[in-house]
A and B are shown apart, each in its own frame.
Chain A
Amino acid sequence: MTPEDSQLIEDYLGRLRACLRELPSEDSREIVEELRSHILDKASEGGVTREGIASVVAALGSPKELARQYLTDELLVRAQKVRTPWAVVHAAFRWARLSIEGVLVLIASIIGYIFGASFFLAALIKPFNPKVGLWQLEPDSYQLALGMTDRTPQGHELLGWYLIPIGLALGGGTILSTTHLAIWMFRRFRRPPADWRLGPAR
């Protein structure tokens, strides 16, 4: 490999490093080193040539775009470690900006967390405000409303004080299962950015 070939790779990696400033320097260094070996590995498939290196670098896309994928990947990895709803939603939001899988996980997480939090909060508020409940708004209607309603003359409360154990179990269970499902989706569909662009390293 000529010095010009090395320079081509170093220029690209330098620009990538600058875009990865948000990350701890150790993580950023690790990403850059891994990518360097990935580029060399791919470029050497047909013997190291200037054209080979240039085409591998071109396939990686702009350093800014690639950095965005690495930053998202870091969030996905972090969410798998800390497993909190906030980390899951934050990672899913960033992932949704990159792929359809991310969009679907984000929508599923929003539904799961809002549904779960509504029941959980209703159960917590119930001892302080007995009007809170699961209301059937009109007789013979399937329309249910969780919370308080001013349509009590026609409405009918379904759970009474059972809202507390049911709300805590259903709400907590939904929040936990949403987190588990999102993490499973992260594991199932997440691919390291360089693999996504270039195919897995040999």
Chain B
Amino acid sequence: MTHPTIANHPQQDPPSGSHAEQPQADWRQSKWLAVAELVVVALIFVADEKRLIPLSKTPFLFLFGWISLRVRKIGWRNVGFKIYRNWKTSIALGIAAGVLLEALELFVTQPLLVKWLGKQPDLETFRALHGSVRWTLIALAGSWTLAAFGEEMVYRGYLMNRVADLLNRTRTAWIVSLFAVHVGFGLAHAYQGITGVIDEGLMGLLLGIIYLRTGRNLAVPIIAHGVSDSIDFLLIFFGKYPGM
């Protein structure tokens, strides 16, 4: 049986020697492998929806993504886990992007969505943070590990690359991947209600655009995501988050 293979994969140059002469035989670059992985990812989403997964699905998706990369003999570095130009630029761009995304959410997208849908995002999960230093510190730790680091590695680093693999990593493939993955990213925030799903999907989409526009680098989206979530949690702590 022959496998359709993934072309134009910058991180997966054809190996030298006998493998290079028979690239079709390399199952690691098979699209069927990518399809199988995406089915498993979908199953993890379903299991999470049925509350079979403790705490959060992000660590499970992260672990699965890591296994996938190891199996294909590449690493997180190959999907963009490295500094962007230099540390100073990565941090400055990350903070600027995080503040801007948060401002866009608070001043533009969320008010418009609340107006159109008539519903605030359901942030009951985070109500315990109001006035509690302990819970806010825990939430901040979670926002930089599970959310910023974990979600960026999973959604931008692993899933966007894997969906793009299916479509040969062309310009169109990346655009399709950007939208497809962020529908999933929005749905992953279903606990925030319809306003939260659309709002988070949109924020994910913008983080995805930042990932692509930094030459597929994860440092800037990770810092931006962490900064944006940290501002959210600090606003909730001080009781100044809109609608809470």
Contacts and interface: CB of A to CB of B under 8 A. Distances in A.
B104 A103 contact: no
A99 B103 CA distance: 21
B100 interface: yes
Per DSSP, chain B at the interface is: helix
A158 to B, nearest CB: 15
A166 interface: no
Nearest to A144: B242
Contact of A107 (B93, B101, B243): B101
A143 B243 contact: yes
A128 interface: no
Interface string B70-104: 00000000000000100000000100110011011
Interface centre among B108, B206, B240 (most CB of A within 10 A): B108
Interface stretch (A27-35, A78-86, A109-117, A191-199): A109-117
A1 interface: no
Contacts of B134: none
A157 B97 CA distance: 33
Chief secondary structure at chain A's binding surface: helix
A100 B100 contact: no
B242 A111 contact: no
Interface in A107-157: 107-108, 110-111, 114-115, 142-143, 145
A111 B104 contact: yes
B220 A142 contact: no
Given A142-B240, A143-B242, A111 B107 contact: yes
A103 B210 contact: yes
Contacts of B214: 100
A98 B100 CA distance: 19
A103 B101 contact: no
Nearest to B101: A107
A104 B107 contact: no
A152 B108 CA distance: 22
B213 A102 contact: yes
Contacts of B96: 104
Interface string B118-153: 000000000000000000000000000000000000
B contact residues, range:
20 to 34
Given A107-B206, A111-B103, A142 B242 contact: yes
A91 B115 CA distance: 30
Nearest to A99: B213
B107 A100 contact: no
A110 B112 CA distance: 14
Given A143-B242, A143-B243, A114 B100 contact: no
Contacts of B243: 143
Given A107-B100, A107-B101, A145 B111 contact: yes
B213 to A, nearest CB: 5
B152 to A, nearest CB: 15
A197 B210 CA distance: 21
B209 interface: yes
Contacts of A75: none
Interface string A41-54: 00000000000000
5 contacts: A100-B210, A103-B206, A103-B209, A107-B206, A110-B108
